[in-house]
Amino acid sequence: MNDQVNGSSGITVMRKKLMGYVGFANFPNQVHRKSVKTGFQFTCMVVGESGLGKSTLVNTLFNTQIYPNKQPAEPTHDCPQTVEIQSITTDIEENGVRLRMTVVDTPGFGDFVNNEESWKPILDNIESRFDAYLEQENRVNRRKMVDNRIHACLYFITPTGHALKPLDVEFMRRLHTRVNLIPVIAKADTLTEEEVVAFKQRILADIKHHNIQIYQAPAYEYDDEETIAENREVMSKIPFAIVGSDKEFEVEGGRRVRGRRYPWGVIQVDNEEHCDFVKLRQMLIRTHMEELKEFTNDVLYENYRTEKLSAMGIQQDPSVFKEVNPVQKMEEERLAHEQKLAKMETEMRSVFHAKVQEKEHKLKQSEEELYARHKEMKEALDKQRIELEEKRRRLEAGRPMTPEKSKKKGFSFNK
């Protein structure tokens, strides 16, 4: 059975039904084996004020001690003046699949009296990673390219229950075109269920009002209904109201769960009825990690690369992707080469004439200077000759010369 499809570019695509097994349906297995062999890498940035549980959430997400236990800092008068950028890289393995996980932390964000430009060091760091990757792309040898671009940014919102603060809006407005923003409500166990729902609505309203783009899961043509419904459910939880904890407690039935214990009960981290942690982990790790990396590379990085190269004056040649006739192309190149030679010949002639005229002008000027000097010397010689003839006539006529002149000439008239 044959189906004919006309593409938008004018190319006709024929869909043919195979008469038997060929084998290219095994391509996904080949990709799987290669991926397992080479491993995966993912870079996640966490941003938020101190004390919102960023380190605890990262440890809870990957169920390992990525962040070491923090030691209480000693009191000091020296306070940092800018936001720091710290990276921690950890190799994790699960069922034979290796993941190199890099977490980028931003201690100091939102902790100053004046937080007007707290976002700037973070934006500079993200763009510097783009620049480093662009520099690697321009190398002659690109075999070992290191991708340290930020693939996702978890932005922790303080659980005030009111609305986004000006610092939250300014940060997301500045960075939403450079990184996949995933807003999360930190320490959601401090809010009631009704307060969480209302807070989420206010946050989404503020995001829409300021035209901020947060990460949205892509929809594919061949997704089944179950996958589409699952993605829709995950996206409906944004911003995720999360609770992080790596401590385990025993609940009814003897089960041990991760959570936080309160006098009235235990908040279970992995219970979807208590918080959105499971949905956040599902989107960030289990279902959309590759989509986050692809969107970073295909959209965010490409937009930055285009802006960067355009600012440098590099423009895309529209003729590169056009289909051309080879004979016509050779003829155009021959004509262009002949025009270039003719232009070079004309330029050489003009330069030669200019050099000749300059030389002639210098020779003419030298000739005039020599003529003027010759005339001056001739006049001086004529003047000297007239003076000498005058002196000779006086001597011949017997006229005595003045004493001064006689002394100079060595004559004596007293003898």
Query: Structure tokens of 139?
Result: 């190398």
Residues 64 and 136 in one domain: yes
Residues 66 and 174 in one domain: yes
Residues 235 and 315 in one domain: yes
Residue 53 domain flag: yes
Residue 136 domain flag: yes
Residues 290 and 358 in one domain: no
Q: What is the pLDDT of residues 304-357, one digit of tens each?
A: 998 888 887 766 666 555 555 667 778 888 899 999 999 999 999 999 999 999
Q: What is the CATH number of the domain that holds 262?
A: 3.40.50.300
Instruction: Locate the DSSP E strands across 227-369.
Output: 240-241, 248-250, 256-262, 265-268
Confidence band of 98 (pLDDT split at 50, 70, 90):
confident
Q: Left (φ > 0), alpha (ψ -120 to 50) or beta: where does 212 sit?
A: beta
Q: What is the pLDDT of residues 42-97, one digit of tens each?
A: 999 999 888 888 888 888 887 777 776 665 556 555 555 678 888 888 888 888 88
Q: What is the pLDDT of residue 400?
A: 55
Distance from the first to the final alpha carbon of the chain: 149
**Percent with pLDDT over 70 in the chain:** 86
Residue 228 domain flag: yes
Residues 340 and 288 in one domain: no
Residues 319 and 384 in one domain: no
185 contacts 199 by C-beta, under 8 angstroms: yes
Rounded to whole angstroms, the Cα distance separating 344 from 278 reads 71
Residues 246 and 277 in one domain: yes
Q: What is the pLDDT of residue 3?
A: 54
- 268 compared with 65, residue with greater pLDDT: 268
Confidence band of 411 (pLDDT split at 50, 70, 90):
very low
Residue 112 domain flag: yes
DSSP 8-class letter at 26:
G
Confidence band of 296 (pLDDT split at 50, 70, 90):
very high
Question: How many residues are present in the chain?
Answer: 415
Residues 76 and 163 in one domain: yes
Q: What is the pLDDT of residue 184?
A: 93
Residues 57 and 133 in one domain: yes
State whether the Cα torsion 255-260-265-269 is positive or negative.
Answer: negative
Neighbouring residues of 149: CB distance < 8 A, sequence distance ≥ 6: 43, 126, 129, 130, 133, 296, 297, 301
Residue 85 domain flag: yes
108 contacts 49 by C-beta, under 8 angstroms: no
Residues 320 and 380 in one domain: no
Residue 31 domain flag: no
Q: How many CB atoms lie within 10 A of CB 195?
A: 16
Residues 220 and 343 in one domain: no
State whether the Cα torsion 407-411-414-415 is positive or negative.
Answer: positive
Model-level pTM?
0.68
Q: What is the average pLDDT value for the chain, to the nearest integer?
A: 83
Residue 249 domain flag: yes
Residues 311 and 219 in one domain: yes
Q: Is the pLDDT of residue 112 over 90?
A: no
DSSP string across 104-168: EE-TTTT-SS--TTTHHHHHHHHHHHHHHHHHHHTSS--SS-------EEEEEEP--SS---HHH
Confidence band of 413 (pLDDT split at 50, 70, 90):
very low
Rounded to whole angstroms, the Cα distance separating 269 from 246 reads 9
Last residue of a domain, one of 324, 344, 363: 324
Domain count for the chain, please give it: 2
Last residue of a domain, one of 299, 324, 349: 324
Residue 253 domain flag: yes
| Of 79, 89, 83, 32, residue with least CA distance to 58 | 89
Q: What is the pLDDT of residues 369-387, one digit of tens each?
A: 999 999 999 999 999 999 9
Rounded to whole angstroms, the Cα distance separating 409 from 227 reads 129
Could you give the maximum distance between any two Cα atoms of the chain, in Å? 159
Q: Is the pLDDT of residue 100 over 60?
A: yes
Lowest mean pLDDT among 22-36, 55-69, 397-411: 397-411
Domain interval for residue 354: 325-397
Last residue of a domain, one of 292, 308, 324: 324
Q: What is the pLDDT of residues 182-238, one digit of tens each?
A: 999 998 888 888 999 999 999 999 999 999 999 988 877 777 888 888 888 888 888
Q: What is the pLDDT of residues 236-251, one digit of tens each?
A: 888 999 888 878 888 8
